[in-house]
Structure 1
Amino acid sequence: MTDTTQESVTPAPPTTPWGAVSIVLVGAFMATLDAFIVIVAGPAIQADLDTSGGELQWILAGYQLTFAVFLITGGRLGDLHGRKRTFIAGLALFTLASAACALSQTAPALIAARLVQGLGAALMLPQVYAVIAVLVPEKERHRVFGVLGVVLGLATIGGQVVGGLLISADLFGSGWRPVFWINVPIGLIAILLTAGRIPESRAALARKLDIPGVVVLSVALFLLAFPLIQGHEAGWPWWTWASMAASALGLALFVSIERRTGRLGGDPLLRVSLFATRSFSVGIVLVLAVYAVITSYYLVLSIALQDGLGLSALGAGLVYTPAAVTFFVFSMIAGRLVPKYGRRVLEIGAIVLALGYAATVTVLTSGLPFTPVVVIPTLMLQSVGGGLLITPSLNAVLTRIDPDDAGIASGVLSTAQQVGGALGVAIIGVVFFNTFDPADGDRTAAAAHALAMSSVFTCTVAIVAAVLVRLLPKTRAPM
């Protein structure tokens, strides 16, 4: 395909180009996995590099911070300079930063490498959605987004399993470093395949990057993401609330700038009119809510299993395995059901997800002992709902977006995922740690109580998600 600025992309082929799609899915898996794989490596990193608690927090959260802040800008850069080119740039930066993480000998060096790694992921992930929206025929997108949902879900659930396996293997006596080294060969292969297998595309009318919009949005998202990530560790001092209030003002200023840029005939970073599309605006809020539940819940569950039951990182990760298999199966089932039943599949998924959390509350407050055998069935029920809800919701957001806006819309979607995750972790962290009180020495009972209270929160958010699904346009395929 000719790489010009006069056309967005060649017409989509009549069938799904699975070769190209598979390559970008590798990038999505890597970007999502690295938000979770490092969690189980935290103790090993702290022991090896002699990090403080604050430094370890930055090693874990710094990646998410730059990832969340620059996603929308990353999507716009793909529209402007080519999604293939930007995807390769993101892959290259992510791969180099991963190598730098693995080679780090001090905590500050690892923190810096993690920040750069998050920037690479922010360039990479929006192009995944954009490439799918541009290259895949509309009638086939539900299947591809179903596979994407599976990939993201398995990266989320499986990150701690993979991390636990790599650390327990202690390859060549390298301890925690393989959790970063694993990205290097995969990234290099993905770059070579991208160069040869993915056609270039860009927005037909894009002219230049909206620098004022980039600066104001980046600052606003930083002011939102930073206190959400650091608030619990810091004890929620006044500056966290002031920062979030300033973020709201910054976002309002950003909207004003974008509208003015559009009125003056400029090229805004984000066309605010995108939110006039109901499937997009409602879908973004739905994705934010769902990822607030999914991300936060697995984090507190991991703490409950390790601090409450005394499981190893690998043991805790293996508890997720049946849920991961269930999620995979029902994500694929959702891809087959949505063309026939449309929004109804998402409605059922949200209800089952809420029932799964409610079931966890029931078993943990029934007097049964808190063991993996007790919670695994409820995790599997949650995964049934998550598989039916998460995978189709991604397509619901982008299904009516013009290909010229695919990059920026994908950036907004990815930002909703990351901010939703950070928001969920902040809220559920308060719930979990304020109710996790092993004062009498029974850590198992205390962890069960804290997990039950956390499940009440996630059940409530899942019910809100069910209401949001009802607000989506009532259509069948191609949602």
Structure 2
Amino acid sequence: MAQTSPSAGAAHTAPAPLPDRPAAASRGALVLVLTGAFMAVLDTFIVLVAAPAIQADLHASDADVQLVLAGYQLTYALALITGARLGDRHGRKRLFQVGMALFTVASVGCALAPGAGALIAARLVQGLAAAAMFPQVFAMLQVLVPAERRARAFGALGAVIGIAGAVGQVLGGVLVSADLFGSTWRPVFWVNVPVGVLTVALAARYVPETRAPQARRLDLPGAGVLTVALGLLVVPLVEGRAAGWPLWTWGSLAASVLAFVAFALVERRVEASGGAPLVRLRLFRERPFAVGITLVLLTYAGINSFFLVFSLTLQDGLGQDALGAGLYYTPFAVVFFAASLLAGRLARFGRRVLQAGALLVLLGFGTTVALAAGAGAGLTAGRLVASLVLVGAGNGLLVTPLLSAVLAGVRPEETGLASGVLSTGQQIGGAVGVAVIGVLFYDALGPAAHQDAAAYGQALAWSLAANAALAALVSLLLPFLPDPASRRG
């Protein structure tokens, strides 16, 4: 599930102790900030189940559907670190309210979108709003919750993030199937509006304001160059197949390499001048972190793309309505949640828990590939449930402790910066995974008709074979990650 680890986010935005530290936050204040985290994660997943209905209603292309999903994550990823620094400088409560208000307005824009282009634009704004809001949640929990209650607060945040992913898929199915006032998919965005308005209003009264006393200046040049680099990479991946891979797509991909090099040069110059770069490049010279960020990118590329192709197969290929598709994710969500809790209890076994999770994910993807490829026209949703449970169990063991394991190999003074980079890597990995695996799925599907189970099964098999390759690569790289159990020992 596309989410930000509580431990990582806390480390990223954790400020220095404040001389005028406010009194401990009330439970009402904590509920309000956790609502912000819930909404940001919910809107990653609620749209997955609604994607087929959006495509049919707006006559959207396959590339449009991918951009509706990946665009949110891209702008979310690009602005996460900047959002955290803005909160430190101008007030975390203020940025939380601004982010939630903008998120609510963007949700209205999504719900009223007359076409695919307008919906994509509104989703991009939604991602920026989530990036303004979400980092403040971590920082406010760190600052406002007394030390003796902080672990419980971040545990609650982890539970909220996990539940949001599961609820998003089921709620999306319920709302689309209800077809309220003939609006099909639009209620998946309208549902944000009353929650957003109420949260902004109550936060004004119940959430105290905090700032960091020595917040650093924003790295606007770095953010700008990174935005260009990611745009040059993702847009041709999403649009290229439908356009027939014209010359501009290959030129854009080549230019993205140069743009990433330019980003590295800009960051080096910012750091040399005494500024606060978006990313400190020396982190990548340390093998544990370089391996760790690679693991994060691969893992989240596999998770988010899996949800996309699986949802399309269930609804367009196997004839499930949105509610049925959402309910099919329930076993995944239950097992994921249980495995996440188990991973915490098994922390003493360190990296072996992660390796077990990666192998289960690989087994789940491999089983799905075999079932989908071999069933032909006899493929049914029920036959995929067992492998879906394997994927859920594996991700619960792998995803939840992964960021903590990566950070175990980072020097304490660089934990905040490293966790911010990893949190951004989660969203970028998810967006690129949706783009690349989505291309494989649609290429394999070709011009197949809806409810052509055999064609959708073959497309699912081809795309999940790539997901299985990602899981295998994760399994091979894990031994190069420092073992957190050994470090504790």
With the length of structure 1 as denominator, give the TM-score of the two structures: 0.83
Query: What are the superposed Cα offsets for residues 327-371 of structure 1, whole Å, 9 maximum, x if unpaired?
Result: 111112212222x22222212111111121122233345558422
1:131–1:227: structure 2 CA closer, same or farther, 3 Å change rule?
A: farther
Partner residue of 1:362 out of 351, 359, 370: 370
Partner residue of 1:345 out of 326, 349, 353: 353
1:156–1:238: structure 2 CA closer, same or farther, 3 Å change rule?
A: farther
Matched-pair contact (CA < 8 Å) for 2:70–2:435: no
Shift of 1:297: 1.1
Query: What are the superposed Cα offsets for residues 363-414 of structure 1, whole Å, 9 maximum, x if unpaired?
Result: 3455584222221011101111100111111333456778997775454333
- Do structure 1's residue 446 and structure 2's residue 455 form an aligned pair? yes
- Do structure 1's residue 385 and structure 2's residue 359 form an aligned pair? no
Single out whichever of 371-380 and 127-136 deviates more from structure 2. 127-136
Find the aligned partners of 1:251 and 1:22 in 2 and give their Cα distance.
39
Q: Show the 5 A alignment for 1:398-437.
A: 398=407, 409-436=418-445
Q: Show the 5 A alignment for 1:457-468.
A: 457-468=466-477
Find the aligned partners of 2:488 and 2:36 in 1 and give their Cα distance.
25
- Do structure 1's residue 371 and structure 2's residue 380 form an aligned pair? yes
Which residue of 2 is the match for residue 77 of structure 1? 86
How many residues matched? 472
1:123–1:274: structure 2 CA closer, same or farther, 3 Å change rule?
A: farther
Find the aligned partners of 1:455 and 1:54 in 2 and give their Cα distance.
19
Which residue of 1 is the match for residue 482 of structure 2? 473
Q: Which amino acid aligns with 1:331?
A: S
Q: Show the 5 A alignment for 1:260-271.
A: 260-271=269-280
Matched-pair contact (CA < 8 Å) for 2:92–2:211: yes
- Do structure 1's residue 319 and structure 2's residue 328 form an aligned pair? yes
Counterpart secondary structure, 1:301: helix
Partner residue of 2:196 out of 166, 187, 191: 187
Find the aligned partners of 2:143 and 2:235 in 1 and give their Cα distance.
33
Find the aligned partners of 1:471 and 1:308 in 2 and give their Cα distance.
40
Q: Which amino acid aligns with 2:90?
A: H
- Identity of paired residues, percent? 54
Q: Which amino acid aligns with 2:245?
A: W
Query: What are the superposed Cα offsets for residues 98-147 of structure 1, whole Å, 9 maximum, x if unpaired?
Result: 12322445555444332221210122233445556667799998877666
Shift of 1:166: 0.6
- Do structure 1's residue 258 and structure 2's residue 267 form an aligned pair? yes
Q: Show the 5 A alignment for 1:80-91.
A: 80-91=89-100
Find the aligned partners of 2:286 and 2:208 in 1 and give their Cα distance.
28
Query: What are the superposed Cα offsets for residues 263-295 of structure 1, whole Å, 9 maximum, x if unpaired?
Result: 222232333334456654433221211111111
Q: Which amino acid aligns with 1:363?
A: L
Single out whichever of 301-310 and 126-135 deviates more from structure 2. 126-135
Find the aligned partners of 2:116 and 2:370 in 1 and give their Cα distance.
42
Which residue of 1 is the match for residue 128 of structure 2? 119
Q: Show the 5 A alignment for 1:188-337.
A: 188-192=197-201, 194-195=203-204, 205-275=214-284, 280-337=289-346
Q: Which amino acid aligns with 1:353?
A: V
Find the aligned partners of 1:250 and 1:222 in 2 and give their Cα distance.
10
Q: Which amino acid aligns with 1:74?
A: G
Matched-pair contact (CA < 8 Å) for 2:78–2:223: no
Single out whichever of 96-105 and 127-136 deviates more from structure 2. 127-136
Matched-pair contact (CA < 8 Å) for 1:142–1:395: no
Q: Which amino acid aligns with 2:363?
A: L
Single out whichever of 202-211 and 26-35 deviates more from structure 2. 202-211
Query: What are the superposed Cα offsets for residues 284-327 of structure 1, whole Å, 9 maximum, x if unpaired?
Result: 22121111111111211122222322222222222111111111
1:447–1:173: structure 2 CA closer, same or farther, 3 Å change rule?
A: closer
Query: What are the superposed Cα offsets for residues 41-65 of structure 1, whole Å, 9 maximum, x if unpaired?
Result: 3454466566677766655554344
1:77–1:401: structure 2 CA closer, same or farther, 3 Å change rule?
A: farther
1:444–1:176: structure 2 CA closer, same or farther, 3 Å change rule?
A: closer
1:257–1:47: structure 2 CA closer, same or farther, 3 Å change rule?
A: closer
Single out whichever of 406-415 and 355-364 deviates more from structure 2. 406-415
Q: Which amino acid aligns with 1:171?
A: L
1:161–1:419: structure 2 CA closer, same or farther, 3 Å change rule?
A: same
Counterpart secondary structure, 1:267: coil
Single out whichever of 312-321 and 30-39 deviates more from structure 2. 30-39
Query: What are the superposed Cα offsets for residues 45-104 of structure 1, whole Å, 9 maximum, x if unpaired?
Result: 466566677766655554344334333432333344344433332122111211232244
1:125–1:244: structure 2 CA closer, same or farther, 3 Å change rule?
A: farther
Counterpart secondary structure, 2:47: coil
1:406–1:127: structure 2 CA closer, same or farther, 3 Å change rule?
A: farther
Single out whichever of 65-74 and 138-147 deviates more from structure 2. 138-147
Find the aligned partners of 1:196 and 1:342 in 2 and give their Cα distance.
43
Find the aligned partners of 2:373 and 2:477 in 1 and give their Cα distance.
29
Matched-pair contact (CA < 8 Å) for 2:355–2:478: yes
Find the aligned partners of 1:28 and 1:22 in 2 and give their Cα distance.
10
Matched-pair contact (CA < 8 Å) for 1:75–1:408: no
Q: Which amino acid aligns with 2:454?
A: A
Counterpart secondary structure, 2:46: coil
Q: Which amino acid aligns with 2:108?
A: A
Single out whichever of 427-436 and 417-426 deviates more from structure 2. 427-436
With the length of structure 2 as denominator, give the TM-score of the two structures: 0.82
Matched-pair contact (CA < 8 Å) for 1:146–1:392: no
Q: Which amino acid aligns with 1:343?
A: R
Find the aligned partners of 1:276 and 1:221 in 2 and give their Cα distance.
22
1:259–1:232: structure 2 CA closer, same or farther, 3 Å change rule?
A: same
Counterpart secondary structure, 1:245: helix
Find the aligned partners of 1:370 and 1:290 in 2 and give their Cα distance.
27
User: Structure 1, unaligned stretches of length 5 or more?
Assistant: 1-5
Matched-pair contact (CA < 8 Å) for 1:78–1:127: yes
Which residue of 2 is the match for residue 3 of structure 1? none
Counterpart secondary structure, 2:278: coil
